[in-house]
Amino acid sequence: MVLFGRRISLRFSDYRCISRFICDDSSFRNNGYKDGVFRDEEFNKKNSVFGFDSDGNDIVEEILLGVPPSSNEDEETDGEYFLSKRRLLPDYVSDTDRVFKILQQDGIGFNTILELNNLGLNVSNNLVREVLLRILKSVNHTNKLRCARLAYKFFRWSAQQENYRHTTNAYHLAMKIFADCQVLNVMKKVYYEMTENNYQITARTFNILISACGEVRSARSTIESFIKSENFHHRPFKHSFNAILHSLLVMNQYQLIEWVYKEKRNGFPPDILTYNILLCTKYRLENFDQFYALLEEMGRNGFVPDLHTYNILLHVCAKANKPVSVLQQLNDMRNAGCDPSVLHFTSIIDGFGRAGNLFACEHFLEEMVKTGCLPDVVCYTVLIRVYIEAGDLEKAQDKFDEMFVKGQLPNVFTYSTMIRGLCIAEKFDKAHTMLQEMESRGCNPNFVVYSTLVYHMRKAGRLTEADEIIRQMVEKGRYTHHLSEFKMYKYRR
């Protein structure tokens, strides 16, 4: 088959037995209780990107599509400013603590606004962000209306303070709270206020609104308004069309991507990024006929694969367990002047790992090193996951130890993968020691780490140890908003 003016070494049959490789439900992507790991669809929507994010995904978005990963503006990192002071001064009470204490007393007979005024605070961006983040983390199915009320009071009160003006991020946090609390009329009111005051509308704004849409018609209406909006800040994308397609891909809204491309592409000629997004979509939907047709359409329209297109194709071949096709793809890349990088080889190794072909994984690891590419943290983490899935904990441990020798420090997803492997092998003491080790190295565990340990310990009947893990997590102020999830499967076997 000849595409793009050169030979693409893939037959249509190569796509037949391929399942999704981006944002799939593999054990490596654990933000839910699959094989003993927490699974939460809302958590997934909020954090889903291709790279090693909170989900632990293993295909890097920046390399796949040629754009920076979507930033999650409302993550927890800014809270570290206050937490660090608490660690140094045990009696320290931050302004955030003082505000939150008053908000918690809100009710009949208590004048919340008056008490906030009496604090005499210098309201800053950091303070507003920290308070809104704390409210957002507090939302659960029993307190939605109360959280929405407190957020609204604080949001309005802070906007009236001298020398302070809400940032775009503050609006996003408020909108996210109201969306999670299912108070959509208030969320829309805040959004309209944001646009009327000429705040910058970004992909994050779009993501929050689309995620809150309960029906397809509402989502389509929102998309249409963003396509037409002159205030939509779509950088680093060339135009709003690609920005919207990319945001929908991040949110796993594949049907909406197809609708947007089919109905709204007039005036927005596709470029290579558009095609890469569509290829990902067809692949995730397992529409392999359309995936194949899209490749041919690219060629007819004069587009040649870029590094990101090749990354998709390499993973397709590897996941389909086609070593010869992978070699041919690599040759085509080089002939086209595209030198494969460590991330291309990582995609190959990941694909063959999912296909269960350890020999091919090790072969292409050697090929990578021969070409002068050395494994990075992402590559090592994928290798460790592959060995653990194959039941070879010893080789996984060897690769983990090798990282330190090679100067590659494990990240939270590397530790998460190793801890899961140790738990599967019922080496709970070592798993607990590794948890302590990662913390001592300044690598904070994510919720996946805690849920993995707790689930497997309880499954093995080690309830006291599991409860101790939860106690330590709570003492450190981490993921307390997910405590109910532990209770949900406490005695599950």
| pLDDT higher than 50, residue 193 | yes
Q: Pick the residue with more confidence: 62 or 13?
A: 62
Please state, in angstroms and as integers, the Cα–Cα distance from residue 28 to each residue in 253, 268, 346, 381, following that order. 21, 37, 14, 10
Question: Beta strand pairing status for 2-3 and 6-7?
Answer: antiparallel
The pLDDT tens digits of the residues spanning 270-286 come to: 889 899 999 988 988 88
> CA torsion sign, 241 to 198 to 152 to 99?
positive
| pLDDT higher than 70, residue 93 | no
**DSSP, res 7:** E
Question: What mean pLDDT is predicted for residues 116-132?
Answer: 93
How many whole angstroms from its chain centre is CA 121? 35
* Burial class of 350 by CB neighbour count within 10 A (0 to 12, 13 to 18, 19+): buried
d(CA 187, CA 152): 10
Question: What mean pLDDT is predicted for residues 293-309?
Answer: 92
**DSSP, res 14:** G
Lowest mean pLDDT segment, chosen from 235-239, 390-394, 445-449, 458-462: 235-239
Give the pLDDT score at 358. Answer: 96
Q: 371-389 in b/e burial notation, b at 16+ Cβ within 10 A?
A: eebebeebbbbbbbbbbbb
What's the pLDDT band for 486 if we cut at 50, 70, 90? confident
d(CA 313, CA 357): 18
**DSSP, res 68:** P
pTM of the model: 0.71
110 pairs with which residues across the strands? 107
Residues in the chain: 493
Percent of the chain with pLDDT over 90: 52
What's the pLDDT band for 59 if we cut at 50, 70, 90? very low
Percent of the chain with pLDDT over 70: 78
Give the pLDDT score at 78. Answer: 39
Give the pLDDT score at 267. Answer: 74
Per the listing, tokens 């409302």 go with 74
The pLDDT tens digits of the residues spanning 304-363 come to: 999 989 999 999 899 999 999 999 999 999 999 999 999 899 999 999 999 999 999 999
| pLDDT higher than 60, residue 82 | no
Cα angle 440, 350, 293; round to 5: 140
d(CA 247, CA 274): 12
Report the chain's mean pLDDT, rounded to a whole number.
80
Lowest mean pLDDT segment, chosen from 157-171, 231-245, 363-377: 231-245
Question: What mean pLDDT is predicted for residues 204-227?
Answer: 82
Q: Pick the residue with more confidence: 424 or 204?
A: 424
Local structure of 286: helix, strand or coil: coil
Contact 118, 102 (CB under 8 A): no
Lowest mean pLDDT segment, chosen from 215-224, 240-249, 308-317: 215-224
Lowest mean pLDDT segment, chosen from 64-78, 291-305, 353-367: 64-78
7 pairs with which residues across the strands? 2
Question: What mean pLDDT is predicted for residues 286-296?
Answer: 89
| pLDDT higher than 80, residue 400 | yes
| pLDDT higher than 70, residue 22 | no
Both tokens of residue 419? 């801890």
Q: Quick one: which of 250, 235, 179 has its CA closest to 209? A: 179
Local structure of 472: helix, strand or coil: helix
d(CA 56, CA 448): 9
**DSSP, res 251:** T
* Burial class of 461 by CB neighbour count within 10 A (0 to 12, 13 to 18, 19+): exposed
